[in-house]
Amino acid sequence: MTEPNLVTVSSSIDFRDAVMRLDREGHGKWIYVRRTGTSQVYRVIARHTDPFQKIDLMDLFGSNVPPVYMEDFATALANSPSDHPAFRVDVFTR
């Protein structure tokens, strides 16, 4: 099964672009990321529209998908070797 709006990226810039595009299209609360080929999923909090948005208890316990800030994930991605296929990630909606 293919997730809607699936984009595979390997750089922090491409990751940010994909998340911001999906957020602009109205998918803000339903943007997810996973390492390509795995099933562990995180919900991305774009936060660029509200720089003071905080993770709350519903984010932590409201689903089985833990939240991550877009910038935190982008920083982690930027610090990984981009030429290694294990560091490709899928950005998608549900």
Give 76-88 pLDDT, tens digit per residue: 888 876 556 557 8
Is residue 1 included in any domain, yes or no? no
* Total structural domains within the chain: 1
Domain that holds residue 59: 7-93
Is residue 22 included in any domain, yes or no? yes
The span from the CA of 25 to the CA of 35, in Å, is: 23
**pLDDT attached to residue 50:** 67
The span from the CA of 15 to the CA of 6, in Å, is: 12
User: Is the pTM above the cut of 0.95?
Assistant: no
CA neighbor of 44 nearest in space, from 4, 88, 94, 81 = 94
52 pLDDT higher than 80: no
Kindly calculate the radius of gyration of the chain based on its CA atoms and give it in whole angstroms: 13
**pLDDT attached to residue 56:** 82
Structure tokens at 5: 């709006």
Is residue 49 included in any domain, yes or no? yes
pLDDT mean over 58-87 = 81
- Average predicted confidence (pLDDT) for the chain: 86
Write the DSSP symbol of residue 27.
I
Is residue 70 included in any domain, yes or no? yes
